[in-house]
Amino acid sequence: MIRSAKLPLLLILLLVVVLVQIPHHASAGNPQAAGQEVVLKAAEITAKIFPERVFFRGQTAPAQLRNTGGVHFADDLYVLAGLVDSSGYSSGLREKYQAYLIDEVTLEIDGQTLKPGAYGIGFLEGGKFVVMDLGANDVLQAKAQHDADLKHPMPLQVISSSTAGSYRLYIGRDFVEFRRAR
């Protein structure tokens, strides 16, 4: 009888311990709980937030999750980019369509505004960066820069800029700077 009387007390105690731990675990892996913007590396971007296959110009292509990057804003919104395997596209389109961009916020790129959406992006000869809608129509062209001093170029990466709240999207050593529009 004593044993069965202790069981409900033990269950209540266990429930209290679990409930106390839930908020701790929920915020431990979420830097935004502290109100911070965080640059995401490829290892932090999963198929849960970036699709394994992306739709562009009438077909789907595999995204290279190992070559992704982005920003997770303090209000839980994202800007994500990843290289794509564009081998199924025409050579003219492959030249422009190198990566896929998903943004949940309005961005400012080279003084121009880009609304939230999904886009094809690429760096062109002559120092240009192009953003295309899903039909492969240009929606934004910006001046790209080349960073010869970048210590560890990667196929695609996003890093913080020296200007607070600004970020650089790199493909190799070519980059464009962006920020969340105000």
| Model confidence pLDDT, tens digit, residues 75-99 | 999 999 999 999 999 999 999 999 9
Q: How far apart are CA 87 and CA 136, in angstroms?
A: 15
Are 50 and 110 members of one domain?
yes
The token pair at 161 is: 């800029």
**Residue 14: φ, ψ to 5°:** -65, -40
Range of the domain at 21: 2-28
- Contact (CB, 8 A) for 39 and 56: no
Q: Is 40 left (phi over 0), alpha (psi -120 to 50) or beta?
A: beta
Are 81 and 15 members of one domain?
no
Q: How far apart are CA 102 and CA 55, in angstroms?
A: 12
| Model confidence pLDDT, tens digit, residues 162-180 | 999 999 999 999 999 999 9
The DSSP result for 35-94, as a single string, is T--EEEPGGG--TTTS-SEEEETTEEEEEEEEEEEEEE-TTS-EEEEEEE--TTS-HHHH
Q: How far apart are CA 79 and CA 75, in angstroms?
A: 12
pLDDT at 34: 57
pLDDT at 28: 36
Within a domain: 60: yes
The token pair at 92 is: 């003219």
Are 97 and 9 members of one domain?
no
Are 50 and 128 members of one domain?
yes
Count other Cβ atoms within 10 Å, centred on residue 126.
Answer: 7
Are 96 and 18 members of one domain?
no
Within a domain: 33: no
| Model confidence pLDDT, tens digit, residues 103-118 | 999 999 999 999 999 9
pLDDT at 35: 77
CA dist list (Å): 69 to 19, 38, 123, 156? 34, 11, 16, 7
Q: Which residue, among 148, 152, 155, 149, has the nearest Cα to 123 in the 3D structure?
A: 155
73: pLDDT strictly greater than 60:
yes
Provide the pLDDT confidence category of residue 124 given band limits of 50, 70 and 90: very high
**Is residue 12 packed enough to be buried (19+ CB in 10 Å), middle (13-18) or exposed (0-12)?**
exposed
| Model confidence pLDDT, tens digit, residues 23-64 | 333 333 444 445 799 999 999 999 999 999 999 999 999 999
Are 72 and 151 members of one domain?
yes
